[in-house]
Chain A
Amino acid sequence: MAPASFQLIAALVLRETSIIYEPRKEYLVEARLHPLAAQAGCASVDAYVQMLSINPVERRKAIDALTINETSWFRDNAPYQAFTETMLPALMANRTERRHLSIWSAACSSGQEAYSIAMLLDQHLPAGWTADILATDVSTAMLTRVENGRYSQVEMNRGLPATSLVKYFTRAGSEWEIVPALRKMVRTRHLNLAEPFPVIGTFDLVLLRNVLIYFDQPTKHGILRRMHQHVASDGYLLLGSSETTLDLPADLHAMWDREQIGRVQAHRPAGGLTVPRPSSTTFSAALTGARP
């Protein structure tokens, strides 16, 4: 593709998602746009990029194709193991009155992360407890996928234990559909992490995994700064396995404690309570979205 086309598309993606495409990634952009160009009847990727300036529908499709949505069930395993073995019991011990957990999957892609957590909650949350999972992404196409809860055969194979496949999914044509009980636990919302967050309240666990790597330093730092007030004082923030060694400015570094749980490192709000705190605080904070 022509350098001018690459610059045009890279600027578009940066503006809409803050994702940076460097010139050496030109081949990737071309590979991802080629099928769209062919479908739209364009003779070349260059012609397709020209078309984007006048066609908002294709523009949406191109942006969706260029946000990297790679994900899988129980991705990396260890975080999910740490969740069931350590985080969940600790969180439950502090919430015996309210008996409710709030979880945020903050770059949810097609929903495997949110539904993996939903499966674990189904297996480990005692009767009488409830949970809700907020799934957000910048890509509206991805949010629609989460809402539909349908996955192709190829996606189902990626990390989902066979016992969970038969327990939590039913066949729907060539795809598999998540059972309504888990579907009901997850709600979606459009949210661009690179911009100020809307009023969404605080969460006991935030999964912010495999998304910071696509941003520049100031954007990463801004997100981690803003994230602080959305994690409950005894809650957890989980980053991707290659994202925990971020170089942070001193004040931001001091905002988070790091805790090693098995093979994963969790971030926790610094100075947060790790002993039970008055449950009324948890209650009002979660109800009103006010910050403690």
Chain B
Amino acid sequence: MTVTTQPSGPELADVHAIVEQVWSSFLGDEEPLLPRYADAAEEGTPAFPAEHVWSAAVSVHGGWTGTVTVELSSSVAQSLTRLMLAMEDEPLDDAEVADAVGELVNMIGGNIKSLMPGPSALTLPVVAAGRAAHSSELAEVARFDAMWNGEPVRISVHAPQS
């Protein structure tokens, strides 16, 4: 019987659609989010940088269990914070950036939760300056890489190793 094994993760196309919608709703579509497929990422373009990065994660527990993580360069994080707060040139503090990035992962994570068997609960976001670290019990089950304004954005989904 397959009833007990949870589907490992969401379809990449669905993750892409969700990220796209969150992006265009709040950040406008003048500057499109351009998907970066694995092969294009391999040739030439450097891997996701280790510095000047923000990361945020939410976890889902219940019908499906897993973690949704957003990583973006600090310049993307700053731009999206300014757009969400409608601030032009005033200086931003880290708390404001953390709040905006946290809301971003909350929106993406909540919608990814609805793709999976429910009911499940969503945790509050955890935000950090720097790359995300994942426990070794979790395996990556979906990843969406994109470029915005020439800077990298990554959304990844991790679930327990079955």
Residues of A within 8 A of B (CB): 31, 34-35, 38, 152-154, 171, 173-175
Chain A at the B interface: mostly helix, strand, loop or mixed? helix
A154, B17: Cβ atoms closer than 8 Å: no
Residue from the set A31, A153, A175 with the largest chain B CB neighbour count within 10 Å: A153
Minimum distance in angstroms from B127 CB to a CB of chain A: 23
Say whether B17 contacts A174, CB under 8 Å.
Answer: yes
Bound together, the chains give a CA A152 to CA B20 distance in angstroms of 11
B14 touches A153 (CB 8 A): no
Residues in chain B near residue A175, CB distance under 8 A: 17
**Chain A residue nearest in CB terms to B15:** A174
A287–B29 alpha-carbon span in the complex (Å): 47
- Quote the shortest CB–CB distance from A162 to chain B (angstroms): 15
Are the C-beta atoms of B14 and A31 separated by less than 8 Å? no
Residues of chain B with a CB closer than 8 A to A171's CB: 114
Residues of B participating in the A interface, judged by any CB pair closer than 8 Å: 11, 13-15, 17-18, 21, 24-25, 29-30, 32, 34, 111, 114-115
Which 9 A-B pairs have CB atoms at the shortest separation, nearest pair first?
Answer: A174-B14, A174-B17, A173-B14, A35-B32, A174-B18, A154-B21, A152-B21, A154-B25, A153-B21
Q: Report the Cα distance A153→B26, complex, angstroms.
A: 14
Q: Are A38 and B34 in contact (CB under 8 A)?
A: yes
* Chain B nearest CB, measured from A92 CB (Å): 39
CA gap between A154 and B13 in the complex, in Å: 16
Which residues of the partner chain B approach A174 to less than 8 Å between Cβ atoms? 14-15, 17-18, 21, 111, 115
Say yes or no: B111 contacts A35, CB within 8 Å: no
Other contacts beyond A153-B21, A173-B115: 15, CB < 8 A: A31-B29, A35-B29, A35-B32, A38-B32, A38-B34, A152-B17, A153-B111, A154-B21, A154-B24, A154-B25, A171-B114, A173-B13, A173-B17, A174-B21, A175-B17
Report Cα–Cα, A154/B25, bound state, in Å: 8
Give the distance in Å from the alpha carbon of A34 to the alpha carbon of B115 in the complex.
30
B32 touches A34 (CB 8 A): yes
CB closest chain-B residue, reference A31: B30
Give Cα A18–Cα B43 distance, bound, in whole angstroms.
Answer: 45
Chain B residues in 8 Å Cβ range of A38? 32, 34
A78 to chain B, nearest CB (A): 27
CA A174 to CA B21, docked complex, whole Å: 10
CB of B26, distance to nearest CB on chain A (Å): 11
Min CB distance, A259 to chain B, in Å? 39
Tell me, rounded to whole Å, the shortest Cβ–Cβ distance linking B99 to chain A. 22
Report Cα–Cα, A250/B18, bound state, in Å. Answer: 52
Q: Which residues of B contact A34 (CB under 8 A)?
A: 32
Q: Tell me the complex Cα distance, A114–B96, Å.
A: 43
Q: What are 10 contact pairs spanning A and B, CB under 8 A?
A: A31-B30, A152-B17, A153-B111, A154-B21, A154-B24, A173-B11, A173-B13, A173-B14, A174-B111, A174-B115
Rounded to whole Å, the gap between the CB of A176 and the closest CB of chain B is 10
Q: How far, in Å, is B115 (CB) from chain A's closest CB?
A: 6
Q: Hey, which chain A residues are within 8 Å of B18, CB to CB?
A: 153, 174
